[in-house]
C-alpha cells in the first residue's frame, strides 16, 4: 500500500495505537500522512514521542493514553506539553508496566489484566476510573485491574517486511510493536525496505521476525519512514532536526516540511 491508501482507510474519531518508544522507531511517514489529511478527534495510545506531539500540535487529537511523552534526549515532548497545558487534550496517564498490561489484555482479547503496578501511587488518584480486584486465590491480594487498551488501528514501523506483512526488527528492542499489532482491529506496517520472504532470515535471526502476516492489513515501503527518530541499525536519531522540532513553533516547523 501507499501512505495515502493507509490514511484513506482511517476516519475521524478513531482510536489509533502508535508503536515505537519515545524517539525511537516511530512510524512518522504514516503520521505525516495523517497530518496532511482532514482526520481529527483521535484517541492516541502510545509510548509517546514526536508522533503524539505532532498530532496534538496539529489539532488532530482529543485524548492521549500514555505512560510518558518524551523525545528521549529531550525529556519532555514540548508540543504535547503545550497542548496539555492549554487544556486542548484529555490525558490518561498510566505507569509503564500498567500500560504494557493494557496492551497485553487487548492483545489477548481480555477485558483487563491484574497487576501490582500502580498500587500506592498517584496513578490511581489521577485515574479515578481505575478499579482494583481481589485475587480469588491465596490471601485475596488486592490488585489493579488495568483495562484493555483496545484500538481501531495500529501504526508501526519495522526495519524489513515482505509483501504479505511479515515484519522484522533489526535493532536492540521490539518496543512492544507486536502487542500493538495484536491489540488492534487493523494494523499497518511501514518498513525501511520490502524484501522477499526468503530473504528475511538473511537479514536477521528468526527471533527478529516480530510481526506475522496474520496480524497485518497492509504494508508500506517507506525508506526513512521513522526519521527523525532512530531506526537502528539503519540510522540513528537526527538530534539536530529533533532540537529544531522541539524549539520551533509547530506552524513554522510544519511549513518547513
Summarize the confidence of residues 70-90 as an average pLDDT. Answer: 96
Residue 173 lies in a domain: yes
Res 257 pLDDT > 70: no
pLDDT class for 256, splitting at 50, 70, 90? low
Residue 207 lies in a domain: yes
Task: Report how far residue 205's alpha carbon sits from residue 202's, in angstroms, rounded to the nearest whole number.
Answer: 8
* 211 strand-pairing partners: 167
Q: What is the pLDDT of residues 181-225, one digit of tens each?
A: 999 999 999 999 999 999 999 999 999 999 999 999 999 999 999
pLDDT class for 61, splitting at 50, 70, 90? very high
CATH number of the domain enclosing 62: 3.40.1080.10
Contacts of 252 (CB under 8 A, 6+ apart): none
Residue 32 lies in a domain: yes
* C-alpha distance across the termini of the chain, in Å: 22
Residue 118 lies in a domain: no
Residue whose C-alpha cell is 528468526: 206
Task: Report how far residue 86's alpha carbon sits from residue 76's, in angstroms, rounded to the nearest whole number.
Answer: 16
Residue 81 lies in a domain: yes
Contacts of 213 (CB under 8 A, 6+ apart): 162, 164, 165, 166
Q: What is the pTM of this model?
A: 0.95
Which of 39-53, 56-70, 72-86, 115-129 is the least confident region?
Answer: 115-129
What is the pLDDT at residue 237?
98
How do beta strands 90-93 and 61-66 pair?
A: parallel
Summarize the confidence of residues 55-71 as an average pLDDT. Answer: 97
What is the pLDDT at residue 87?
96
Res 59 pLDDT > 90: yes
Residue 66 lies in a domain: yes
Residue 249 lies in a domain: yes
Residues 123 and 156 sit within 8 Å (Cβ to Cβ): no
Within 10 Å of residue 45's Cβ, how many Cβ atoms? 27
- Total of domains in the chain: 1
Residue 242 lies in a domain: yes
Q: What is the pLDDT of residues 131-168, one digit of tens each?
A: 999 999 988 999 999 999 999 999 999 999 999 999 99
User: Which range of residues forms the domain containing residue 38?
Assistant: 3-94+149-255
What is the pLDDT at residue 253?
85
Residues 16 and 44 sit within 8 Å (Cβ to Cβ): yes
Amino acid at each position: 500500500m501507499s501512505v495515502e491508501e493507509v490514511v484513506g482507510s482511517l476516519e475521524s474519531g478513531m482510536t489509533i495505537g502508535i508503536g515505537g518508544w519515545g524517539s525511537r522507531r516511530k512510524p512518522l511517514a504514516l503520521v505525516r500522512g495523517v497530518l496532511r489529511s482532514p482526520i481529527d478527534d483521535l484517541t492516541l495510545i502510545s509510548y509517546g514521542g514526536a508522533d503524539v506531539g505532532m498530532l496534538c500540535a496539529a489539532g488532530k487529537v482529543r485524548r492521549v493514553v500514555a505512560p510518558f511523552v518524551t523525545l528521549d534526549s529531550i525529556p519532555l515532548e514540548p508540543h504535547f506539553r503545550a497542548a496539555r497545558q492549554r487544556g486542548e487534550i484529555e490525558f490518561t496517564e498510566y505507569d509503564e508496566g500498567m500500560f504494557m498490561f493494557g496492551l497485553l489484555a487487548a492483545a489477548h482479547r481480555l477485558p483487563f489484566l491484574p497487576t501490582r503496578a500502580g498500587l500506592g501511587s498517584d496513578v490511581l488518584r489521577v485515574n479515578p476510573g481505575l478499579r482494583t480486584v481481589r485475587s480469588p486465590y491465596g490471601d485475596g491480594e488486592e490488585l489493579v485491574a488495568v483495562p484493555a487498551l483496545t484500538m481501531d488501528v495500529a501504526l508501526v514501523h519495522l526495519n524489513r517486511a515482505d509483501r504479505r506483512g511479515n515484519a522484522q526488527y533489526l535493532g536492540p528492542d521490539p518496543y512492544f510493536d507486536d502487542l500493538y499489532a495484536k491489540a488492534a482491529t487493523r494494523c499497518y506496517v511501514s518498513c525501511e525496505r520490502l524484501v522477499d520472504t526468503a530473504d528475511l532470515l538473511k537479514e536477521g535471526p528468526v527471533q527478529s521476525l516480530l510481526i506475522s502476516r496474520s496480524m497485518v492489513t497492509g504494508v508500506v515501503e517507506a525508506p526513512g519512514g521513522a526519521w527523525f527518530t532512530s531506526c537502528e541499525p539503519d540510522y540513528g536519531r537526527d538530534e539536530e532536526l529533533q532540537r529544531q522540532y522541539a524549539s520551533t513553533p509547530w506552524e513554522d516547523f510544519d511549513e518547513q516540511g
